[in-house]
Structures are given as structure tokens and as C-alpha cells.
Amino acid sequence: MKIGIVGLGFVGLSLTSVLASKGYDTVGIDADEEKCEKISNGDSPFFEPKLEKILRSGLKKKLTVSDDLSLIKDCDMIFVTVGTPQSKNGSIELTMLKKSVRTIGKILRENKKNPVVIIKSTVIPGTTQKVILPILEKESKKKAGKEFGLISNPEFLQESTAIRDTEFPHVIVLGGYQTKYMEKTRTFFSKLHPNTSIIITNHQTAEMIKYANNSFLATKISFINQLSNICQNIPGSNIDDIAKTIGLDPRIGKLFLNAGPGYGGSCLPKDMKALIKFAGDIGINPTLLNAVEKINHTQINQIVSLLEKKVGSISSKQITILGTAFKPNTDDIRDSIAIELIKKLLKKKAKITIHDPKAIRNTKNVFGGKICYDESITRALNNSYCAIIMTQWKQFGELNNKSIKCMKRKLIIDCRRILANKKLDAEYYALGIGK
């Protein structure tokens, strides 16, 4: 079996690398020639633990990486993993997806294998049937379900654990018509992941499952952050003990109850906005989802208010931000709360120095010379009036009195409570712990 993957971003490259490492004849396609060359040399264009190891394993077997989409012409399965970025009004942008599908359709016209086209790109309900299907049938001159298959297969990968999530998914969702192509796809996944449940449904439901999943996770985060804000004003109250306890209730579960400055990244914010926009378009007022979004945005204000309460005017004062990646073990700063915090502090004319183990380069791409960067935590803290811990990097838990001795004012705002059990000669405030 030969497999093609169109789009080598976070999802596509993870899938390509894992399939190739398992011995599948794999073709990875991306429009960016420079990116393809880098990947062909065994280098990932972004940081993801274990990815390069798996990629290099795949390259030693049967993996081709190219910007030439025609190489998928003899594939049995074609996974579409191109991005669907957010537009200004909150809806998803389908330009890249349409372009890729249009070209795939033209290639299908010459393909004698009658492949299965599998859509992993995140799209609102109805997109596969109303947008993708007509394009494929028009360009291929073929009928879906008879001469090629079309399956919706949403992904549930988390950055920092993408390889594990690709190798051992918690569930596989397949949406589409009950044809031989669905059975072919089900058989493929059951062999690839023999211990994983496979849910077979229609296109619209499969698409909605992805949004339901992410919006529920966002809701859990905003819920625990709301409780954290309450705890902040109750002397002695500790949000971590509360989260740990309620997480033991099987009806609630322990995941995504880590209170902090708010959710970020490439998925949750984008998918929440897209679902809210979609709900409005079909005449539904998503009251709860709007509240989740509102709570998330107010978290930054909590941090800024606490900072100004302790420091006063921050104009011309150096503030150190520890962590700009939206989560640890990634260099991704897309929709990172830390980036939004920096923008707010710059408007107040603060001088910003940042340190992040992996995300400095990406942060420079946003701010350029407007802020300062340092590879050393200790140097980043030099002459600082306050250190704000935004990302839960384990390195930040190693901060000690020696690390902070050169701070102008030894004030720490710990949004992740990493240092809550440490004795520091500093003014220490942890979100979610009442004083």
C-alpha cells in the first residue's frame, strides 16, 4: 500500500513520519520547497519531542518528501492535512484546502487505483460534503463512493505528545458513506491501531466531534481558571488541591484542570472562535461558549492588575517574561497568552525581557527589536522589577535565590505555581493560591 500525505505541518509531518517508520511506502507533500528539503535531511521545521528520531527512521525506509503533488498519482490512500487558519471574523480559511483538493481531483482523473481521500484538516460541519466533495468530483470526473472514497478523519493530537498520540490514539473517527472505501479505511486503521476503538459515522458528525472535543477542553480550562480567580481572594485556599480532588471524580476527570493564565495554541482558540461563528451562522446563540472565551481573555487582565498593584506604574520598568510558548515542550507561540501579555505590557511602555527554552526564535519573529531576549534565565532576570512565569517549563522550577539575586525588585508572579513549595527571598504570588 502506498500512502500520500498532503500538508507537512504539525499533523501531517507527525503522521508521515510514523507511517514511514512503520514501513509504509509514504509520500509527504508540502508546497514549501525549502521545508521539504529540510525534512528530507531529517530536520523538523518545528520542535516536537521524538519527531526527528521517528522522521529519520522513516527516511531510512521508504519515505519521499517533495513539493510535487503529482507524486500522489499512484497512492492508495491520500491524507489531506493542510492548515485551515482563522480568518478575521473567526471563521476558518479554506483557501489552502480548496487549492490542494482541486489539484488532488485533477490527479484522481488519471489514477487507476481508485484511492481513498481522507480529510484530517479541521473543518466546520458540512464542509466535506458541501465544499470538498463537489470539487473532487468536478476535477476528477469521477463519482465519490464508486470511483474513489472520501472519508472525514479528525485528528486529536496534542503538541509535545504528537508522536505518542499518532502511534497510540485514544479513538479513531471515520465519517463518510458506508461503501467499500469505508471498509478499506476501517481495515487499515484496525491493523495500524489494533487496540483502539473506531467510531464510524457520517461526515458532518465526524467534523462536529473535533469541535465538540476541543470546546469541551477549553470549557474545563476556563472553569478551573474561574475557580482559581476565586481562590486568589480566599486566604489559604489552593486551586491545585481543589483540582486534584475534583479530578478524582470519574465524572470530571483530572485532565485539563491545571489552572493558569488561559488556554492558547493553534487549536483551542481557533476552534472555539470557529464554532461560535458557525453556531451564529445557523441561528444558535452559543452562550456557554461565549462565556468560556470571555473568561479566557480576562485572565491576562488578572495578571496585569496584580503586577500594577505591586509595582505601580510599569512604564520604563523591566519586566521579565519566563516562557512564551503556549505550553512546555514546544516552540509554538500561536495564540499564546504570553504573547498577548507582552503586547499589553508594551502598550503600557514596559521594557520586556523574555526567556524560553525553545520559543525565542519564534518570539523574535513577532516582536523583533521591541523586546530583549536572553538564553540565560539568570541574565534575563538582571535588573528586573518582576518575573512572570507563563509557561510550565520544568527548568523554571529550578529557580532559586541565586537566580534572582540580581533582580531590581525580587517580585515573582507565578501563573503556574511551579515555585509554590520553594522558599525564596522574594515577594511571591501564585495564581490560584490565596494570601
- Are 65 and 8 in contact by the 8 Å Cβ rule? The answer is yes
* 3-state SS string for 357-371: CCCHHHHHHHHHHHC
Active-site residue (options: 267, 372, 386, 406): 267
CA distance 69 to 104: 8
Handedness of CA 13, 16, 19, 23 (dihedral sign): negative
Q: Is 415 a catalytic residue?
A: no
CA distance 44 to 354: 24
Tally of CB atoms within 10 A around 112 = 7
Q: H helices of 200-325, where?
A: 203-231, 239-247, 268-281, 287-311
- What number of CA atoms fall less than 13 Å from residue 223's CA on the CB side? 16
- Are 135 and 123 in contact by the 8 Å Cβ rule? The answer is no
Q: Which long-range contacts (CB under 8 A, 24 or more apart) does 285-291 make?
A: 288/219, 289/215, 289/219, 291/222
DSSP state, residue 427: E
Coil, helix or strand for 29? Answer: strand
- Are 154 and 233 in contact by the 8 Å Cβ rule? The answer is no
State the residue for C-alpha cell 493530537: 157
C-alpha cell at 322: 519566563
- Are 138 and 107 in contact by the 8 Å Cβ rule? The answer is no
- Written as one string, the DSSP assignment of 254-276 is STT---SS---SSSHHHHHHHHH
CA distance 195 to 175: 20
- What number of CA atoms fall less than 13 Å from residue 132's CA on the CB side? 30
CA distance 37 to 180: 37
CA distance 102 to 127: 14
* Residues annotated as part of the active site: 267
